Structure 1
Amino acid sequence: MSAPVPLPDLPVTFRPTRTRAVLLTVGGALFAVLTAIALLLARLGAAERLTFILTGALFFGVTLLFSRPRVVADRDGVTVVNLTTRRRLAWPEVLRVNLRSGDPWVFLDLADGTSLPAMGIQPGIAKQRAIRDAKALRALAEEYGTSSRR
């Protein structure tokens, strides 16, 4: 049997920092390159230059959106921020924290019978960190959720 996972200090934020760094770097570089092309090509008109810059800004905005996911846990519950949604859950609502082999991110089994993806913990680039974060979130859910249900 494995040793119990120590509870992290609260509040704690789980997010895929390496993935976020890669996304923001690529998005910023793409924006810079497209802006440089727009400004350096003398043959472009004003509308074409603006199109290049807006395209770069659009790509950067998409990478910002992809870097948004996080899971924030505090004593009262957990906030799950995914690409376009944000949901606040009290600990008793979280029945189980799952990260199975091959899953793209953690899934939370909820008391209402549904499952909520928590994209802030994903094993993509940093698998060991995602496993450690999932175990920490599971320990928090067991500590605060079950003590509230008694």
Structure 2
Amino acid sequence: MSDLPALPVTFRPARTRAVLLGAGAAILVVITTVAMLLEQLGPGERLSFILTAALLFGVLLLLSRPKVVADETGVTVVNIAGRRRLDWAEILRVNLRHGDPWVFLDLSDGTSLPVLGIQPGIARRRAIEDARTLRALVEARSVREPGGRRDEHQG
């Protein structure tokens, strides 16, 4: 495929991220404003309102974290609570089947890794495009032996 993007390239659910960060900021501002305007609240109660708002914002910030970064040497998958670095040779297949909440990578160790950075929730077409692009990058960067098997000895 000659239409491959220049590396490095980052895939992330931009609309979902915008909604989560916008909602988080709005919650933080509204709850903080309410805490400051309620005159019957003491300093400790105000602080608890603000800390609760900050906690909610933090949760939404974590939910907006997922992304996938493809570069010359491999792929970095950043999910909500973790990050995993993969060499191109470790990725056997990129899957986004009808009804899947996000992309899954089939790996050479026999496991499957969820990739929350490409999810069809709000922007289905974009997710399908991103999944196809990542699949094409994996295929272009993979070294296959004759007969379709991947060379396990590549460096």
Cα distance in structure 1, aligned partners of 2:46 and 2:2: 54
Distance in 1 (CA, whole Å) between partners of 2:3 and 2:108 is 25
1:27-78 Cα offsets, whole Å, 9 max, x none, are 0000000000110000001111001000000010001000000000011000
Aligned residue type for 2:69 = V
Checking the alignment, whether the CA contact within 8 Å between 1:71 and 1:80 is kept in structure 2 is: yes
What corresponds to 1:106 in structure 2?
103
Tell me the residue number matched to 2:81: 84
Pick from 35, 49, 53 the counterpart of residue 52 of structure 1. 49
Whole-Å separation in 1 of the counterparts to 2:99 and 2:143: 28
Q: Which has the higher helix share?
A: 1
Normalising by structure 1, we get a TM-score of 0.95
Retained in 2: the 8 A contact 1:93–1:145?
no
1:34 aligns with 2:31: yes
Gapped regions of structure 2 (runs ≥ 5): 145-149
Post-superposition shift, 1:6?
Answer: 2.1
Q: Distance in 2 between matches of 1:13 and 1:112?
A: 24
Question: Taking structure 2 as the reference length, what is the TM-score of the superposition?
Answer: 0.92
Are 2:133 and 1:141 equivalent residues in the alignment?
no
Amino acid at match of 1:32: V
SS at match of 1:123: coil
Counting aligned pairs with the same residue, the percent is 65
Q: Hey, which bits of structure 1, 4+ residues long, moved more than 2 A? A: 146-150
For structure 1, list consecutive stretches of 5 or more residues without a partner in the other structure.
Answer: none
* RMSD between aligned residues: 1.3
Equivalence for 2:112: 115
Cα deviation code 1:67-110 (max 9, x no counterpart): 00000001100000000000000000000000000000000000
